[in-house]
Amino acid sequence: MSDTFMAASYRLVPMNLELIPQVAELERQCFSKPWNEAMLTEELSNPLASFIVAQGDNQEVLGYAGLSVVAGEGYIDNVAVRQEYRRKGIAQALLEVFLQFGAAKQLSFLTLEVRASNDPAKQLYMKHGFEQVGRRKNYYDAPQEDAIIMTKMFKREPTEG
Ligand code: COA
């Protein structure tokens, strides 16, 4: 069977200190201004932040994602998947953890910024109910580009009484 049709085998685990060098490597692979090991390590002791890793069979980091929750609102910091493991549902699996968490914790919404030209990411978020709610002009540099703000609102169950 060709690689194109092989499902990725992985499990979702919380990010920990041992995984950080690989996560930093993934950041460098994916972003022009990557989070470095020190920044990622700091996030481990941030009580508002949760980072999850998709870990392959031989402990390798295939993807990761981070969420910060402030005042009942969820901010997705990063979602990244190693190039050779893309289009296998890994980002979707990571995102679904945050969506389930957001619904269970009754967050008002999940939101994030994405480069205007980043169609794969925009498609990923739209597939999961995020809508384009705004644009930040020249938000990114290297290269300079607008950010699209994408938000998924959670429906609140009406409270009794
Ligand atoms: N083109 C179009 N749609 C795409 C896509 C692509 N290249 N990649 C993902 N999608 C959309 C599709 O709707 C897809 O569903 P489908 O496969 O049923 O069509 C859905 O996203 C889920 O795809 P998935 O396989 O879970 O995504 P992935 O594991 O390949 O990861 C990214 C997607 C965006 C995280 C990955 O391309 C990546 O790491 N890019 C670089 C880092 C980045 O830009 N992160 C986002 C920052 S906001």
pLDDT digits (tens, 9 = 90+) for 120-156: 999 999 999 999 999 999 999 999 999 999 999 998 7
Q: Compute, in angstroms, the gap from residue 18 CA to the centroid of ligand 1.
A: 26
| Mutation choice for ligand 1 from 90, 124, 149, 150, CB with most ligand atoms inside 8 A | 124
- How crowded is residue 47: how many other Cβ atoms within 10 Å of its Cβ? 6
Q: Compute, in angstroms, the gap from residue 125 CA to the centroid of ligand 1.
A: 9
Counting from 1 in the atom list of ligand 1, the atom nearest the Cα of 121 is: 34
pLDDT digits (tens, 9 = 90+) for 54-65: 999 999 999 999
Domains (range + CATH), the chain: 3-153 (3.40.630.30)
* Secondary structure (H, E, C), 70-110: ECCEEEEEEEEECHHHCCCCHHHHHHHHHHHHHHHCCCCEE
